[in-house]
Structure 1
Amino acid sequence: MEVIIDNMVSFLDQYLSPELVAFLVSMLPVVELRGGIIAAYALGIDWLPALLICTLGNMLPIPFVLLFGRKLVDWMKKFKLFRRIANRMENKAHEHSMKKFKLLGLFIFVAIPLPGTGAWTGAFVASILNLRMKDALPVITAGVLTAGLVMLILSFGLLHSIGIG
């Protein structure tokens, strides 16, 4: 994934400001804030602006996912190409821990920066569980900020200390 991000950053860097590149990378599903923070580090953006820019970029689409996620998952299930992804999201949402600990489970799911987790998937899970936006959005935001802090430590701390970047 890092090679893909590096190639995308190099291409976009020719035409856009580093801040806009980090913002746009953070908006992408799957890549999200995790990739945006790495891109911001690679582009030489300081850590605090990087956190703010990437958090805003990651969070911008989330209210729309919360509003329309259930309908999108239902639509995806109609097509063989997307059915597996839709079923996987529904299964994630209905796992015992997510149903039992809804908001805490959602926070942990979004906060741990691993593949397949993050704000996009968390918002789909919240919409499948019929969580209200006023409840889910602050929890997802807190999870994104927590994931951002973890990624800052890894990117700006660890990578910098071993001389990468």
Structure 2
Amino acid sequence: MLENLTATTVGKLARTFLLSMVPVIELRGGLPYGIALGLDYPLALAAAILGNMVPVPLIILYIRHIFHWLRKQSPWWHEKIEVLERKAHLKGRMVRKYRTLGLCVLVAIPLPGTGAWTGALVAAVMDMRLKSAVPTIFLGVCIASAIMTAVTFGVIHIL
């Protein structure tokens, strides 16, 4: 049954969408994955961008509350959250200096430690407003998708 679902276009779209929601993998893994599954490029692109963007407003709105709650649960969580917040503040230097342009560049560079999840965390830690952070992160995701498209089709062409 599961194999039948994943063999359909809807199943492939769902897998691409869900993979693109995963931190670290995000669009930079979801887009090539969707194309490798055999999805038409526009469908793979749409699923990867949408999947990458779904967590963004939720992270911006709720991550500080989640961190606060987790800190109360155990010292182990407190330590892990401190590390995450320190990294967000370090990445936030460029964002503090260049504001939305810095956030866009942070999200657009398809390397580990960048992307929509990191951008949303930085925006939350810096108390950026949702109405300016989400469009900026979306633009960064679109730029990252153009870079990943070039890389993906360049690799396919070479092979």
Which range is displaced more, 47-56 or 135-144? 47-56
Q: Structure 1 residues 73, 44: closer, same or farther in 2, change over 3 A?
A: same
| Unpaired runs of at least 5, structure 1 | 1-11
Task: Give the paired residue count.
Answer: 151
Structure 1 partner of 2:129 = 132
Dislocated runs of 4+, deviation >4 Å: none
**How many angstroms apart in 1 are the aligned matches of 2:3 and 2:149?**
21
Deviations 1:51-77 (A, max 9, x none): 111101111121111100222233444
The aligned amino acid for 1:158 is: G
Structure 2 partner of 1:21 = 15
1:69–1:123 Cα contact (<8 Å) kept: no
The TM-score, its normalising length taken from structure 2, stands at 0.84
From the two aligned structures, give the one with the greater helix fraction: 2
Deviations 1:117-157 (A, max 9, x none): 111111111000000000100000001111111111111x2
Identity of aligned residues (%): 41
Structure 1 partner of 2:155 = 159
| Unpaired runs of at least 5, structure 2 | none
Structure 1 partner of 2:28 = 34
* SS of 1:45 mapped into structure 2: coil
* SS of 2:62 mapped into structure 1: helix
1:34–1:113 Cα contact (<8 Å) kept: yes
Deviations 1:18-59 (A, max 9, x none): 111111111111111111012112101122221111101111
- Alpha-carbon RMSD across the aligned residues, in angstroms, is 1.9
Give the deviation of 1:13 after TM superposition. Answer: 6.0
**How many angstroms apart in 1 are the aligned matches of 2:126 and 2:156?**
40
2:95–2:102 Cα contact (<8 Å) kept: yes
The TM-score, its normalising length taken from structure 1, stands at 0.81
